[in-house]
Amino acid sequence: MTTTIATDEFRLLSTSGLLGYGFPEASLAAGLAVKPHMIGVDGGSTDPGPYYLGSGKTVNSRRAMKRDLRLMLRAALGANIPLLVGSCGGSGSDPHLAIVCDIVREIAREDGHHFRLATIHSEQDKASIKRRLADGRIKPLGKAGPLDEATIDRAAHITAMMGSEPWARALDEGAQVILAGRSSDPAPWAACAIRSGQAPAPSWYAGKFLECGATAATPKGHDCLLTTVAGDHIVVEATNPIRVCTPLSAANHSLHENASPCIFVEPGGILDGTDCRFDAVSERTVKISGMQWRPMPYTVKLEAAEFVGYRAITICGTRDPMLIGQIDSFLESVRKNVEDKSAALDVSPNQYKLIFRVYGHNGVMGPREPIQEVRSHELGILAEVIADTQEIASAVLALARVNLLHVDFPGRMCREGNMAFPFSPSDVIPEPSYRFTLSHVVAPNDPYEMFPIEYEAV
């Protein structure tokens, strides 16, 4: 680790790519030795899908989050620096935020910590979203269609993605630990650096690296990253000596999660990396310069998920070469048989959806798979039913399972079952299904009004 400490720079320490992913304690200790000005971690993402936002369940386990938070709290309070966690619990809705707050209070009781806690909410009530819609303040993003009140009403949870300003306000109000709902991933880091007097462009660019922990290093792993903002550039360095930041690894990381490899839209501005340079400072450290910040009208992104239906699934496999050679027509026969037999149960096709994912054929890409020829000697089939009720989902799946086993096909020699099932019982009832329904931006009156902050002495 670099040990020279300049007074005109701002040092930010990230412990991992996501709260609960874990990190080596030695990496945290090495980062603390450089005297960072803050410690943080990204708490969530929409990457795991809509279920977590819709259900209010956390992406990572409570046990894993508590382990990480205990180490981070001890480090931040011991060094008398702020601890910031964004998008708490996964999607940053109020249930997620409450769970992480509860963990932090529990650790404080167990370890005897005392600090000022700020909780920044991002969940939006439906009435206020409808008012903004009526005022023409909400616009679709990308290929999303216009928003209507029915979509708002169906949403299980609606969150807004905060920028850097609510974080800075909480710090200004004396908070040492800040737990926030849905946030732009780089925002907490950018807030700390900008508040210290650093320029917006390198501050936001630093956040882009820090929100993923040591992903910008090689070999990749869930580990700590130190990023220093100094004037017109940043310097990135993994605190674990086994990981190395190179110009290639840093440039590669800067491309992730965006439609453009260079243009990144944030609340209140565009971060432009078109002219960035990536220069090796040492064998383990990279300097990045040339980024620009262009202010734009202030908007924040809205996210929501709604309930789709109840589910039932089964997993099976076949290595019958005759069946594999006609897998698509075989599954269509199964689908037709299920439809016919479900009618005898007073279940119509519009009450359920039957989905087959065939791994070894097109299970990953579905109809977009460019290789149509089946080259595997065996196929794995995941059958899923989504229905209006759990009873219908389970009944239709049972029909699908039986027909996968016994439907005939040309050239069939097997007189028993077509499929091998790895489990008994073979039918599994998972959590309900949700889908994302909002990908829109809203223009607030100011950066704070949608993100109320609560303070407490813990």
Q: What are phi and psi of 401, to 5 degrees?
A: -60, -45
Cα–Cα distance between 266 and 204 in angstroms, integer? Answer: 9
Task: Give, as one character, the DSSP assignment of residue 418.
Answer: S
CATH number at residue 313: 3.30.70.600
Residue 134 lies in a domain: no
Contact between residue 149 and residue 133 where contact means Cβ atoms under 8 Å apart: yes
Beta strand 300-318 with 433-442: parallel, antiparallel or unpaired?
Answer: antiparallel
Q: Is residue 89 domain-resident?
A: yes
Residue 112: exposed, middle, or buried by beta-carbon count in 10 A (0-12, 13-18, 19+)? exposed
> Looking at the structure, do residues 386 and 352 belong to the same domain, yes or no?
yes
Domain identity same for 373 and 244: no
- Is residue 136, in this structure, part of any structural domain at all? no
In a domain, 198, yes or no: yes
Q: Which residues touch 428 (CB under 8 Å, ≥6 apart)?
A: 312, 313, 314, 315
- Looking at the DSSP bridge assignments, the partners of residue 158 are 304
Helical pair 187-195 and 200-210, crossing angle rounded to 10 deg: 140
Determine contact, residues 160/124, Cβ cutoff 8 Å.
yes
Q: Which residues pair with 229 in a beta bridge?
A: 10, 234
Torsion of CA 306, 309, 310, 313, to 10 degrees: -100
> Is residue 221, in this structure, part of any structural domain at all?
yes
Domain range spanning residue 266? 10-122+161-299+443-457
**What are residue 226's phi and psi, to 5 degrees?**
-105, 130
Is residue 93 a part of any domain in this protein? yes
**What token pair was written down for 145?**
């269609």
- If asked whether residues 95 and 25 sit together in one domain, one would say yes
Tell me which residue has tokens 């850097």: 164
Nearest to 59 by CA among 100, 103, 23, 101: 100
Residues 35 and 169 in one domain: yes
Domain shared by 413 and 285, yes or no: no
* CA 245 – CA 287 distance, rounded (Å): 10
CA distance 382 to 433: 16
Whole-prediction pTM value?
0.93
Q: What is the DSSP letter of 272?
A: E
E-strand ranges in 15-130 read 38-42, 83-86, 116-120
Statement to judge: residues 25 and 115 lie in one domain? yes
pLDDT tens per residue across all 458 residues of the chain: 444 445 589 999 999 999 999 999 999 999 999 999 999 999 988 888 999 999 999 999 999 999 999 999 999 999 999 999 999 999 999 999 999 999 999 999 999 999 999 999 999 999 999 999 999 999 999 888 999 999 999 999 999 999 999 999 999 999 999 999 999 999 999 999 999 999 999 999 999 999 999 999 999 889 999 999 999 999 999 999 999 999 999 999 888 777 788 899 999 999 999 999 999 999 999 999 999 999 999 999 999 999 999 999 999 999 999 999 999 999 999 999 999 999 999 999 999 999 999 999 999 999 899 988 888 999 999 999 999 999 999 999 999 999 999 999 998 887 788 999 999 999 999 999 999 999 999 999 999 999 999 999 99
Greatest C-alpha distance within the chain? 79
Residue type, 410: P
The DSSP bridge partners found for residue 177 are: 83, 117
| Alpha-carbon gap, residue 330 to 353, rounded angstroms | 18
Question: Does 73 share its domain with 51?
Answer: yes
- Pair (430, 332) in one structural domain: yes
Q: How many domains does the chain have?
A: 2
Residue 271 resides in a domain: yes
What is the pLDDT, as a whole number, of residue 415? Answer: 75
Residue 86's pLDDT is 97
CB-CB neighbours of 133 under 10 Å = 18
- On whether both 188 and 54 belong to a single domain, the answer is yes
What are the DSSP calls for 318-370, one per residue?
E--HHHHTTHHHHHHHHHHHHHHHHHTTT--GGGEEEEEEEETTTTTTGGG-S
CA distance 180 to 160: 11
Give the span between the Cα atoms of 111 and 113, in whole angstroms: 6
Domain identity same for 243 and 367 = no
Residue 83 — φ and ψ, nearest 5°? -120, 125
> Based on the domain organization, do 314 and 279 belong to the same domain?
no
Q: For residue 198, what is the enclosing H or E element?
A: none
CA atoms of 66 and 379, how far apart (whole Å): 40
Same domain for 176 and 70: yes
In a domain, 151, yes or no: no
What's at 64, amino acid-wise? A
Residue tagged 């412990």 (tokens): 15
